[in-house]
Structure 1
């Protein structure tokens, strides 16, 4: 077992069956696509983009073993295991660790607002103490727009200082690169074995130049290959490749992210069951689908013209 490899991650969307349960086989096949033809180094299932907090406890507990049995490497998957109740987060985290997948992405407890740093510290301490494993690798999850429970750089530095390698890194979904840079400054970033992951692939070169570890993004579900092309491009082609990444990210931002990524996967596979959402989220409207289709065609035409 090992710490998650650095690089480009997709915050994987989740397929549901007709009863609203996770289709584990389809999710595993999809994540296999993401780390092969999809251009990603790893996947982060059951996070925000994966509707993790709308997935039943039964499914969340079963998924890590299914991924392990499918042969995913321990450094290739970061499971979302956060929950409002520390005991639930402990259970989800233990399930991942017991499956040989020690890397977990943990939201702070997000129901009670205006939580103090001391209260948030106590939550993570309880999680670490109850899991009680030196193999555990926690990636803190800063997403204040959604959780309304921000993590301060000073709290993150305190946790890293107290627990060392167990606090492996942080996903910053604030969308503000200065916030990512603040977390790097507080911890030392990759130079001090703390892996900060901004959430937008449009920031990928800034991230790599600022001691971040890579990107964990929802829109790399569809556009991971564009990021890979940008990273692999020579100096002459890098500007255009990054422009393609930014254009794709801007397109994704025009639509609700989770149903938008699922709609793109439904088109890719010809499988409309991908558009199923867990309430309260809903699939794209007919008008949104038409707009997204037209925008994707425009993106492809622009790429073809630039080649």
Structure 2
């Protein structure tokens, strides 16, 4: 289990109160109130794996601070159980008021687990109080996405010399001739290609597996990735807000998407297209591309400009 305390403990005490235990009239001892302990930090209900969670408590102990027990439970099982003396916490034996500050880290590889924190303060009269307010669920962490801008994908040439193909793992366009050569890039790197079709196809993107254009033959590629596409209806504001890998999966799963299969045709400037890479060869990663500019036509200097976001 990942360690839950980072950078030690930062604790502070404020004020010292002296509580006597004698009744001056009859000589009987006056009961000393039990300690109190309250959580003062505001916690979220969920934290991603690897996230630091700060816990702050205020305490009062008329019987003076003795020990503090700090317990972390993961799905009800004890992951950490530590007891500190007042001196280890930076207090003196006469302190009766103070604060406690802990930092724990939501454990990795534990998405779906419930973390409960129990802090018990024991005074010098052996009275105790336990605070169990701190509780949260661990959720899967989401890594930042990878962004590629100013990507120009050109209409294909019969000799394979144009940058017609795009690779998300390389982050660049490649030519058919480069793929056919003995050195990298390889066909397994290529995720989709561009063409400008006749009739209603016009500006189009297709996976290598579905690419079908007269005069272009990639049947000899060892790998022809089967990338799939969906036309989305997300707004410009939503597009600009995409910042994590989880966001890209969310876009792919939107119910208002139009499923285009392995070829999407008649693209227009401003279109945002969600795609999923080949699950067998490219781990089924999710991405989106946005159409920035289209230079229509089938000449080798005609192109589509796109921005590409892909899961890391």
More RCO (CA 8 Å, sep 6+): 1
TM bin, normalised by shorter chain, reads: under 0.3
Q: Which structure: larger Rg?
A: 2
Structure 2 length normalisation: TM-score? 0.22
